[in-house]
Amino acid sequence: MTGTKIKEFVKQQSYFELDYETDETIAFITRENGCVGSETTGIKDVNEGLRLVKLIKQKFNVPASTEECDEWVFVNVELS
């Protein structure tokens, strides 16, 4: 149930999209403002990821973190 609520919350609060989910984890992803050619993240995406992590932690009291890979920014949420 919490996973469904988190997905709905992220959809309403951010432009990050669902990347994958398991019973233990939900990951959201974006490269909206990243540079594909130079494979670098966009500062706007990094800041949005940090904002989203803060909101998720406050609202749902679950561990969450950001991760960067090339132009992608991930938000990882632990459900259990």
Average pLDDT value for residue range 40-68: 97
For the chain, percent of residues with pLDDT exceeding 70: 99
- Domain of residue 31: give its range: 23-69
For residue 45, tell me if it sits in a domain: yes
| In-domain check, residue 8 | no
pLDDT tens, position by position, 6-32: 999 999 999 999 999 999 999 999 999
Question: Is 58 inside a domain boundary?
Answer: yes
Tell me what pLDDT residue 1 has. 67
Q: Give the per-residue SS3 of 4-51.
A: HHHHHHHHHHCCCEEEEECCCEEEEEECCCCECCCCECCHHHHHHHHH
How many separate domains does the chain show? Answer: 1
In a domain, 4, yes or no: no
The arithmetic mean of pLDDT across residues 37-63, rounded, is: 96
5 occurs within a structural domain: no
pTM (two decimals): 0.94
Asked if residue 49 is part of any domain, the answer here is yes
pLDDT at position 61 is 96
